[in-house]
Chains A and B, each alone.
Chain A
Amino acid sequence: MNKLKFAFYWGASCGGCEIAVLDINEKILEVITLADIVFWPVAMDVKYKEVEAMADNSIDVCFFNGAVRTDEQEHMAKLLRKKAKTLVAFGSCACDGCVIGLGNLWDKETIFERAYIETPSTKNPNAVYPKTSITTKEGKLTLPRFYDTVKTLGQTVDVDYFLSGCPPPVPLILQAVEAISKNELPPKGSILMPSKSVCDECPREKKDKKLDKLKRIYELQDDQESCFWDQGVICMGPATRAGCEAQCPKVNMPCTGCDGPSPGVVDQGAAIISALASIATNDEVINQAVDPIGTFYKYSLANSILRRRVIKK
């Protein structure tokens, strides 16, 4: 049998998804028997030019992690879309924008201001900002252009499959690789994760109590058995797709929503707002929810209905 060709790429991401690939441990050897890895910037020295020179559709599967926030990432997304038969949005950044997407609360100008001027550790008296190109005596140097808005992979190019998570859970990665090897992938556009919510995998007991006070996690004396909501703590589980086997609630941390919206939900934040409002007993409870965007949209702002904050110039 001819070996498959795999590619891995990272856009705007933290690198955790790359680690998740290695977290499949010795199974990586099986992947290598199954496929040749033709492009993987984190691990191999293959230049963009060499990818450009590959024939269209010559890569069987490209796993793309990271969101799209610079023109370099957009270029690579479009390039890999052309070169790969199957493009998988791998991880929360590629699927929903993830924490990187919270950058959509600001724009390029405000982010640069903060990063290159205001941060206490920065000394920049001449207010020098990164430029996209500069000519020095050695020649022209370039940097990618930074966009105002973080986009998901799906908002940039046509995506075949989605596998979210921050990072994607190892069993689901293995399942996906197995499906690829057996040529048993579901219909295009599918999410390679279970069609249920985190609550379905969570062992904690739910009694559907009404809420008259919200607690933050540090105020909680967790009984380790009952649902976080019943104990007055916001948990993103009901609005979040399963696949992680509720690993956070199992170690006494409420779900923060990294697997993306649960089945049937478009806007993860909106869904949890509905849930919170349905069990809160009064407005006071609502007001106790600190940082609504950072809590309800921690991983999905860039893929929410409104996508970003409008900044009036």
Chain B
Amino acid sequence: MTEFEPVIIGLTCNWCAYAGADLAGTSKIQYPPNIRIIRVMCTGRIEPEFIFDAFRMGADGVLIGGCHLGDCHYQEGNYKTALRVSITREVLKSLGIEPERVRLEWISASEGKKFSETVKSFIEEIRRLGPNPLKGAPEA
């Protein structure tokens, strides 16, 4: 049996975390290729629907990266996201999906290293949790 390779969806804001990921790339900092990054203008754009959709479509984890609190380009997008993520986690827990599968991290444009470290540790955590429980769950 091949080892479980987690599929991670990364939702990163244009102004900080995405730029951080970019910096990791241009600085040639390596991290495993399990993450598929989707850029949004601000983490405030991330609706709980996006997270549920990611799991429905088979993602094993969702990593949300935004500006540090106080640094959001749109001032308070990330504060709202933090609250949104905490209720979303509650809902996921009630629906049998481990809340740890959603991680929220503040990563600035200069933190390429932090981005790669976050990705690495999140992949490890998801490896420990195993595949998304929705995979192979009976439909009816």
Contact = CB atoms under 8 A, between A and B. Distances in A.
B97 interface: yes
A292 B140 contact: no
A274 B55 contact: no
A278 interface: yes
A274 B85 CA distance: 9
A282 B52 CA distance: 23
Interface of A: 105, 147-149, 151, 266-267, 269-271, 273-274, 276-278, 280, 282-283, 285-286, 289, 292-293, 296, 304-306, 308-312
A292 B87 contact: yes
B135 to A, nearest CB: 10
B49 interface: yes
Contact of B91 (A282, A285, A292, A308): A292
A78 to B, nearest CB: 14
Interface of B is mostly: helix
Contacts of B36: none
Contacts of B80: 277-278
Given A270-B49, A283-B86, A306 B55 contact: yes
B49 A267 contact: yes
Interface of B: 47-49, 52-53, 55-56, 80-84, 86-88, 90-91, 94-97, 133-134, 137-140
A219 B16 CA distance: 42
Contact of A283 (B83, B94, B137, B140): B83
B87 A273 contact: yes
B94 A273 contact: no
Contacts of B83: 276-277, 280, 282-283, 285-286
B60 to A, nearest CB: 13
Determine which residue in A276, A278, A311 has the highest number of CB atoms from chain B within 10 A of its CB, and name it: A278
25 contacts: A149-B140, A267-B48, A267-B49, A270-B47, A270-B88, A273-B48, A276-B83, A277-B86, A277-B87, A283-B83, A285-B83, A286-B83, A286-B86, A286-B90, A292-B87, A292-B94, A293-B91, A293-B94, A293-B95, A296-B91, A306-B134, A309-B96, A310-B97, A310-B134, A311-B96
A190 B46 CA distance: 28
B56 A306 contact: yes
